[in-house]
Chains A and B, each alone.
Chain A
Amino acid sequence: DAGVTQSPTHLIKTRGQHVTLRCSPISGHKSVSWYQQVLGQGPQFIFQYYEKEERGRGNFPDRFSARQFPNYSSELNVNALLLGDSALYLCASSSSGLVNEQFFGPGTRLTVL
């Protein structure tokens, strides 16, 4: 079985642009969580979606939004990019949303110039 997949692997954008990151969970998993990891720091929780509804949101500005599709894949959108948005964006999937059973994807490395 395929694990969690994310696309693209790497991405370079300029300030002010918009970006969309994609995540496909493990087959059968209904929950997707998004994390931002700035270099040298631990991941920061952004969102969790379960059964296409937002279950939780971290302390991120409204420029960050996400959604989950009927097939449980998810998109993370970031508008008006800032230099500080440069980070590794991690997606994790689980069957029920509980963190003790989540699996991480390889991440998308976003660089904002």
Chain B
Amino acid sequence: GQNIDQPTEMTATEGAIVQINCTYQTSGFNGLFWYQQHAGEAPTFLSYNVLDGLEEKGRFSSFLSRSKGYSYLLLKELQMKDSASYLCAVSLDSNYQLIWGAGTKLIIKP
């Protein structure tokens, strides 16, 4: 079976840093994605990790450890507009199907 786990909800303060963790157990692996989704809207792409290590893109960074089945998304200098759900998704060997976690709802407080 396929399993992706993320915390259900997290709260952080504007201007601070937050780390959202994702662990996965899947039958194959071709890469790990992070998406942002505001309520009622489609997911928007944030990052894609294939190899172990840290990928940095502006205020957002994503880390992957394939041997541990673990990833995290790091958000710095939090802004109120960062309040959204953050979804972790794994691409299987075929690379045409994504398996998604349930998402982490991030609440930013002033």
Answer yes or no: B26 CB below 8 A from chain A CBs: no
B41, B42, B91, B103: the one within 8 Å of A99 (CB): B91
Give chain B residues whose Cβ lies under 8 Å from the Cβ of A56.
94, 96-97
Residues on B with C-beta less than 8 A from A50 are 96
Chain A residues near B31 (CB-CB < 8 A): 99-100
Distance between Cα atoms of A43 and B44 in the complex (Å): 13
In the complex, are the beta carbons of A43 and B33 less than 8 A apart? no
Query: Is B100 on the interface with A (CB-CB < 8 A)?
Result: yes
Question: Whole-angstrom distance between the alpha carbons of A31 and B96 in the complex?
Answer: 10
**Chain B interfacial residues counted at CB < 8 A:** 23
Q: Are A42 and B101 in contact (CB under 8 A)?
A: yes
The stretch among A13-21, A67-75, A77-85, A104-112 that forms the contact with chain B is: A104-112
Taking residues whose C-beta sits less than 8 angstroms from the other chain, chain A's interface range is: 20 to 34
Chain A residues with Cβ under 8 A from B95's Cβ? 98-100
Which residues 42-78 in B have Cβ within 8 Å of A in the complex?
Answer: 42-45, 48
A111 and B40 alpha carbons, distance in the complex (Å): 13
Alpha-carbon distance between A98 and B93 when the two chains are bound, in angstroms = 11
Contacts A99-B33, A99-B91; A43 near B41 (Cβ below 8 A): no
- Given A42-B102, A55-B96, A97-B96, 12 more A-B residue pairs with CB atoms under 8 Å apart are A31-B96, A40-B103, A42-B87, A43-B98, A43-B100, A56-B96, A58-B97, A90-B43, A99-B95, A100-B31, A100-B95, A104-B43
A-B contact pairs, 29 of them (CB 8 A): A31-B96, A41-B102, A42-B4, A42-B87, A42-B102, A42-B103, A43-B43, A43-B98, A45-B97, A48-B97, A88-B40, A90-B42, A90-B43, A98-B96, A99-B31, A99-B33, A99-B91, A99-B95, A99-B98, A100-B33, A100-B95, A103-B45, A104-B42, A104-B43, A104-B44, A105-B42, A106-B41, A107-B41, A107-B42
Which residues of B come within 8 Å of A, CB atoms?
Answer: 4, 31, 33, 40-45, 48, 87, 89, 91, 94-103
